[in-house]
Structure 1
Amino acid sequence: MGNASSMLTQYDIEEVQEHCNDLFTQQEIVSLYKRFCQLDRNAKGFISADEFLSVPEFSLNPLSQRLLKMVDGLNFKDFVAFLSAFSNKASIQQKIELIFKVYDINSNGKVSFNDMLSVFRDLSGSFLSEKQREQVLSGVLEEAGYTIESCLFLDDFIKVIGNSGVKMEVDVHVD
């Protein structure tokens, strides 16, 4: 499985399936492998940031620069593990853990008001003023029992986001 041009064996498929907690079927893993090989243009066995940016849906995402830090250099097994948070079978907890990593800008295990504001700025663009962003975000925090001075750890972040009806799903087209 180290070389992207090699074929997956049944053992490889089962190993990847186990690595992603059975969130993808074996057929979906084979389809993801084909897509991985297409992205891995030089057959290095991993996908670079530039290769990820070749995916239009990814490059157009307002959070693509944040996501690039998480996906640059992923091998196939880790590529599938990353995508597993987007599976319709993934739990809300798994989805929120990925969102937390996006918000945790400096990877210190906590999210500050400024971290959240920065992500909110990326997501809202010029549609909201800075003052409106701050008001919305402080209102959301206040409703959850936090202030703008609070730093949220993962458990806190789950409390704030957990009841928001998070939707993060991608369809894996099986050939």
Structure 2
Amino acid sequence: MGSQQSALEPEELAELGKISTFSTEEINRLYRRFQFLDKENMGRIALEELHAIPELAVNPLAQRIHAVFDLDNRNEINFRQFVSVLSVFAKGAKREQKLNFAFRVYDVDGDGLLDTSDLTHIVKLMVGSNFSDDEIAKMVHQTILDADTLDHDGAISFAEFKRSMFNADIEAALTIQF
């Protein structure tokens, strides 16, 4: 799938349709957007170029989102990865997929648990300097108390995260019109 290619082959479209929740029309639109971002015609883009997607550029968690996108720690993605990763933001993505993505964004150290350190880092990214360290610590402590309902280990597991997000409209929060 070189960047010199002006359109995707039907086989490529079918394969990308299987690994994503996008329609053929959306995949073609994403391909044009990817080619626009791939200024050097290398068939890959730097993750920083995702800032050209307005919905991601304004997100205070953009760097954490980039870290989750960077599956192989190369700070760049090819078109297949681009489609696969952005699929979580598609209207047709399943709630479980969106919850898993959100959990991975919050799990800064990647240990499969949301602990005080992870949540403090995330809250600081979200609120900036609008709250004192004491206020942030209280928010984080209360969040863990409220969500740590299954094993009471002082951290939030994915199962606890899902339970705590039961009434949240995660679909609307993690959907981008492509």
TM range (shorter): 0.7 to 0.9
Contact 2:89 2:98 in 1 (8 A): yes
- Asked if residue 150 in structure 1 is aligned to residue 154 in structure 2, the reply is yes
The one of 37, 40, 43 aligned to 1:42: 40
Following TM superposition, where does structure 1 have runs of at least 4 consecutive aligned residues deviating by more than 6 angstroms?
A: none
TM-score, structure 1 as length reference? 0.84
Q: For residues 168 and 137 of structure 2, what CA distance do their matches in structure 1 show?
A: 19
Structure 1 window deviating more from structure 2 (64-73 vs 85-94): it is: 64-73
Q: For residues 161 and 119 of structure 2, what CA distance do their matches in structure 1 show?
A: 11
User: What's the CA shift for 1:96?
Assistant: 1.1
Give aligned pairs, total. 169
User: What's the CA shift for 1:151?
Assistant: 2.6
TM-score, structure 2 as length reference? 0.83
Unaligned runs of 5+ in 2: 70-74
The one of 20, 23, 26 aligned to 1:25: 23
Q: For residues 147 and 176 of structure 2, what CA distance do their matches in structure 1 show?
A: 29
SS of the residue corresponding to residue 47 of structure 1 reads strand
Q: For residues 148 and 135 of structure 1, what CA distance do their matches in structure 2 show?
A: 18
The one of 148, 151, 174 aligned to 1:168: 174
SS of the residue corresponding to residue 63 of structure 2 reads helix
- Asked if residue 13 in structure 1 is aligned to residue 26 in structure 2, the reply is no
- Partner amino acid, structure 2, of 1:160: S
Q: For residues 164 and 137 of structure 1, what CA distance do their matches in structure 2 show?
A: 18
1:155 and 1:149, CA in 2 relative to 1: closer, same or farther beyond 3 A? closer
User: What's the CA shift for 1:168?
Assistant: 1.2
User: What's the CA shift for 1:55?
Assistant: 4.4
Q: For residues 25 and 38 of structure 1, what CA distance do their matches in structure 2 show?
A: 20
The one of 128, 131, 155 aligned to 1:128: 131
Q: For residues 144 and 57 of structure 1, what CA distance do their matches in structure 2 show?
A: 28
User: What's the CA shift for 1:106?
Assistant: 2.1
Output the aligned Cα RMSD.
Answer: 2.2
Structure 1 window deviating more from structure 2 (39-48 vs 145-154): it is: 145-154
Unaligned runs of 5+ in 1: none
Name 1:84's counterpart in structure 2. 87
1:86 and 1:56, CA in 2 relative to 1: closer, same or farther beyond 3 A? closer
- Partner amino acid, structure 1, of 2:17: Q
SS of the residue corresponding to residue 90 of structure 1 reads coil
1:54 and 1:28, CA in 2 relative to 1: closer, same or farther beyond 3 A? closer
SS of the residue corresponding to residue 74 of structure 1 reads strand
Name 2:72's counterpart in structure 1. none
Name the % identity: 26
